[in-house]
Amino acid sequence: MDNSSATIGLLLLVAFIGPILFMIYKQSNKDKKRLKELKNLSAQHNMNLDHIELSNLLILGLDSKSKKLIVMEPENNMSFNVIDLQDTTGHISQKGIPLPNAPKNKTAITHISLELLKNKKEKVTEIVFYDEDDNNSLNAETQLFIAGKWEKLISTSLSA
């Protein structure tokens, strides 16, 4: 193999792999910046976060000792909400539409959220994990799993 073939091969490799590496680098920096903002916010509210979740739609942080949850929305100018979980219960709410030509119990998921209720009656907040109407292309089943994980985290935090 001569030098020109090796050079062309190397340039093609860089042309195809370079953008992928750049995207990974850019996403990593964005995640570090969001994590730093979450830690600063938790320090302002005297919280020590035990569990953290970073995604494009939500940034969640849970302090099981003080029983507080931080919910940040990167898509909404990093607006945040600090939720006191005292006397709060949570359950997953999912909405769907029936699929044509499918069994009766099969539905297409259109909305997944974690609803936090005060004294099992009054709705405190709704944390939306998946909504078909927004433009983000997320997998509904993955978001359902993440919502279930956070429901368990919150319930175990409250029982401790």
Predicted pLDDT at 135: 59
Name the domain count of the chain. Answer: 1
Q: Is the pLDDT of residue 67 over 80?
A: yes
- Mean per-residue pLDDT over the chain, rounded: 83
Q: Residue 44 belongs to a domain with what CATH number?
A: 2.30.29
Predicted pLDDT at 57: 81
Give mean pLDDT, residues 25-46: 91
Check: CB of residue 38 under 8 Å from CB of residue 70. Answer: yes
- Residue 51 φ then ψ, to 5°: -130, 135
Predicted pLDDT at 136: 64
CB neighbours (10 Å) of residue 142?
13
Per-residue pLDDT tens over the stretch 74-124: 877 778 888 888 877 788 887 877 777 766 667 777 888 888 887 767 777
What's the domain range around 39? Answer: 3-159
Q: How many residues does the chain have?
A: 160
Q: Is the pLDDT of residue 36 over 80?
A: yes
Predicted pLDDT at 1: 60
Give mean pLDDT, residues 122-131: 81
Buried b (16+ CB within 10 A) or exposed e, 79-96: ebebbebeebbbeeebee
